[in-house]
């Protein structure tokens, strides 16, 4: 999910689901449209796949130029999209993308679940980049919430959910690869990944809202963000 950077010292804007629309179009739907259009024009599948990577790369480059910040979720999207063409070009076989997608999703799942073994899970840092932006005071307030058991358990639970969904996508794609042609597979799988990511974002937002309401109602804590 590409998040436009904030000027130094500026607080991050409150998250809204509509903020995802440009990212889903540029990083998700546009690559598929380019792939299908070029294939219809007779362009080789590998070249069409590579061309589909251009929009998300340029979009995330724009974010870097504007903010001088790396967008961790944007990098995840680029890696997911670019891995297929790279593997296909390296092996000379378009079917290598299926294997690479499964390996990459498995790696992301392992990274999320593996982060549960550390002091703070990966979602602690990803969500902080959304709610705090470049505002040091907001980042400090977010860091201070880690002292709360409810906050810690919620962030760990969210991280575990993201990891589990990545592994579920590996199983689903492996199953689809047995019943769908590569052409249909490369249309269905990106849409599945986009839908899965959107669902995770909605679920994460709901879990965070429920946690905030619980802290304010039960523990009488004034939410600092």
Calculate mean pLDDT across residues 187-210: 84
Over the range 144-159, which residues count as b (16 or more CB within 10 Å of their CB) and which as e?
Answer: ebeeeeebeebbbebb
* Tokens describing residue 142: 């977010």
Q: What's the confidence (pLDDT) of residue 112? A: 95
DSSP string, 183-198: HHHHHHHHHHHHHHHH
- DSSP, collapsed to helix, strand or coil, labels residue 133 as coil
Calculate mean pLDDT across residues 158-163: 96
Q: For residues 32 and 25, what is the distance between their CA atoms, to the nearest angstrom?
A: 10
pLDDT greater than 50 at residue 87: yes
Q: For residues 174 and 98, what is the distance between their CA atoms, to the nearest angstrom?
A: 8
Q: What's the confidence (pLDDT) of residue 185? A: 77
Burial bucket for residue 176 (CB in 10 Å: 0-12, 13-18, 19+): middle
How far is C-alpha 122 from the chain's CA centre? 12
Q: For residues 105 and 103, what is the distance between their CA atoms, to the nearest angstrom?
A: 6
Q: Where are the domains of the chain?
A: 17-217
Calculate mean pLDDT across residues 124-134: 81
């Amino acid at each position: 999910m590409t998040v436009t950077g904030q000027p130094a010292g500026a607080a991050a804007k409150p998250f809204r689901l509509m903020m995802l629309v440009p990212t889903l179009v540029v990083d998700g739907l546009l690559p598929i449209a380019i792939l299908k259009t070029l294939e219809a024009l007779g362009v080789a599948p590998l070249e069409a796949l590579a061309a589909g990577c251009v929009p998300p790369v340029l979009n995330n480059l724009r974010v870097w130029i504007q903010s001088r910040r790396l967008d961790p979720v944007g990098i995840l999207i680029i890696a997911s999209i670019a891995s297929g063409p790279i593997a296909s070009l390296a092996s000379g076989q378009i079917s290598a993308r299926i294997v690479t997608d499964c390996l990459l999703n498995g790696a992301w799942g392992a990274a999320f679940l593996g982060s549960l073994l550390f002091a703070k899970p990966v979602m602690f840092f990803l969500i902080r980049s959304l709610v705090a932006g470049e505002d040091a005071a907001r980042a400090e307030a977010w860091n201070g919430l880690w002292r709360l058991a409810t906050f810690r358990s919620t962030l760990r639970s969210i991280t575990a959910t993201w990891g589990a969904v990545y592994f579920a996508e590996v199983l689903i794609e492996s199953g689809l690869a047995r019943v769908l042609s590569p052409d249909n597979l490369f249309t269905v799988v990106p849409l599945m990944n986009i839908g899965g990511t959107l669902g995770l974002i909605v679920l994460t937002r709901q879990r965070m809202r429920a946690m905030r309401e619980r802290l304010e109602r039960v523990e009488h804590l004034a939410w600092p963000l």
